[in-house]
Each structure stands twice: as C-alpha cells, then as structure tokens.
Amino acid sequence: MIAAAVLLSLAGCDAAEPVDAATASAAAASPSASAVGLPGVGMCHSGPSLGMFDYRAATLNPVDCAAEHQAEIIRVGRLTTPPENKTREVFTDCDTAAREYVGADWHDGRLGLAVIVPSTEEWNAGAREYRCALFEFSADNHSSRMRTGSLKDGLRGARPLALTCVEVRGSADGQGWYKIIDHLLPIDCAQPHNGEYVGLYVGQDVPHPGMTKLNREVTQACNAKAATFLGESQSKFEHRTDLRVVPTGGNPERWVLGDRTAHCYVLTGPDNRLTRSLKATP
C-alpha cells in the first residue's frame, strides 16, 4: 500500500457535551484558554493546515467560510479529562458529526477529519474544548488545500465533494507501471487521468494485523470492489493486465482510533490516460 493519511493517536475526551462556541470557555482560567473568538460550528480556520490530532485548541484563526480557509469546524465539544485518556471516544464523536454534516460517510469524499484538542499548556490554563474540523484534501495523503465555501451537504444530492478520478504522480518503471507512487490527486473524470476511486475498505474491530497481512487482505477486498465497479467478475478483473488495484490507508495509529479504512483505487498505468469514468452503467 502506498502511504495515505497519517493517523494520529487521539487522546481522551468525553464526547457527550456539545458546546456553543461563544460560551464554550466561559470558565477558562486565562485569556489563552478562552474559546471567545475561536471558530464555532459552521465557521472556518484560515491558518496552517491541521493534523489528524492537533494540539492547539486555543490557537485557531476564525474566518467566514466564504473566505479562503484550510478547514471547517463541524462540532465543538467539552473535555472532562486531559486529552490523553479517551482518544477513541472523541474521534468517534467527530466521525459521527462529519457524516451528519456532509450527508454520508466522509471517507467517500475528498475529505480529511482533524480533531483539535488543547495542548498541555492550554489545558493547564483552563481550556476544555475540542473541535472537530473537516477539510478538503489536495491529494490522498490528506494534505489540506485552501478553498472557499462550506463543505456542508457535500455528499448529498449531486455529491460535489465525492472522490472520483485521480491523477497519479510518481515515477514510471519503464515496463508500463509505476516504480514509485507519490500522490493521487483528485481530478474531474472528463480530464485526462490514470486512476479512479472504486470503493472503501472497512476492517474489522480487531487489533491491527500488521501492514504486510493487512495489505494482502485489503488488496483482495479492493479487487472485489473494483470488479463490482467495472461490472465484471472478480476473477476476470484479477486477470486483466491493463488495470491494477492500489489501496491507500490502514495506518496503525489511525486504526487504534477506530478508523480502520482504506481507499480502493483502480489505476491504468502511467502511459494510459482516460477521459471518462470506468464505472459500469446499468
């Protein structure tokens, strides 16, 4: 598997209490811990890109989502214990909020999810809020891109944020395939491209099996998804020489949080570009 989103081990929070942004830190011990002036639900962050689990809850730069921004706040919650104790619970809370916000599983979109919690200094100063933020990624390594406009409902109706075709960036091996794959960049299927998203793998809730074993399991699952996407049998797909499956994901740190997903892509090779979707039509 090529490297995809780096999963951060979320630390502990109670995810039960939604908090209004304007009053979230009314009891904060110092201005540095106050949520006043920080982005609330439906507002955006204009500063540096966010990591999967970001320790800087009180340093976000609020901006209206109509302006250029990096991420959009979709939920604000309150911690009752320091953010090293219940990482899985708070990620689950953010995951649920993200699905509701965009209208479907956010993994099927060009989307990454970040959880922003207080740093040790912010916690000691009285900060108790965490924020769930969604961002549009520029490549399937979950690096965020600057954008304008809200992500809300992006996977409803016409699904403008759906993950579809990709342009593969990497080096060719001289034999019709890739020596190295660096990035998979989302692109409209009408534009020349050499890959397409065909589905999502979701692993069982068991300890991470190790990347070697997981790679075999995910590749088989992605072969099945690719075959369904193309409208042919898995056996026929696996014998094709013009297409191959490439999965991205399965990072052990993300797995621990409960995000046991991988994107399944079908690639055509560096010398074979398409200007249409491969999806079978009924």
* 3-class SS letters over 109-138: ECEEEEEEECCHHHHHCCCCEEEEEEEEEE
Radius of gyration for the chain, computed over Cα atoms and rounded to the nearest angstrom: 20
Q: Residue written as tokens 């619970």?
A: 89
Does residue 3 carry a pLDDT above 80?
Answer: no
pLDDT tens digits for range 101-147: 999 999 999 999 998 888 888 888 888 899 999 999 988 867 788 99
pLDDT tens digits for range 34-92: 455 788 999 999 988 887 778 787 788 899 999 999 999 999 999 888 877 668 888 99
Q: Are 29 and 126 in contact (CB under 8 A)?
A: yes
pLDDT tens digits for range 165-208: 999 999 999 888 999 999 999 999 999 999 999 999 999 999 99
Locate the domains of the chain by residue range. 31-144, 165-267
Rounded to whole angstroms, how far apart are CA atoms 34 and 51? 22
Instruction: Answer positive or negative: Cα dihedral of 123, 128, 131, 132.
Output: positive
Type and span of the H or E element at 171: strand 165-172
Average pLDDT over residues 246-257: 91
Nearest to 37 by CA among 50, 52, 54, 25: 25
User: Apex CA 260: angle with CA 87 and CA 11, to 5°?
Assistant: 10
pLDDT of 82: 85
Q: Which of 24-33, 64-73, 110-119, 251-260 has the highest mean pLDDT?
A: 64-73
Q: Are 192 and 272 in contact (CB under 8 A)?
A: no
> What does DSSP say about strands 53-55 and 111-117: parallel, antiparallel, or unpaired?
parallel
**Tokens encoding 227:** 């075959």
pLDDT of 26: 29
The partner residues of 75 in beta bridges, in order of sequence, read 132
For residue 81, count other CB atoms closer than 10 A to its CB. Answer: 13
Would you give the DSSP letter of residue 77?
E
Q: Is the pTM of this model over 0.95?
A: no
Q: Torsions phi, psi of 74, nearest 5?
A: -115, -10
In the chain, the amino acid numbered 9 is S
Contacts of 59 (CB under 8 A, 6+ apart): 47
Rounded to whole angstroms, how far apart are CA atoms 260 and 226? 19
DSSP string, 181-206: EEEEEEE-TTS-BSEEEEEEEE--SS
Nearest to 15 by CA among 70, 91, 119, 105: 91
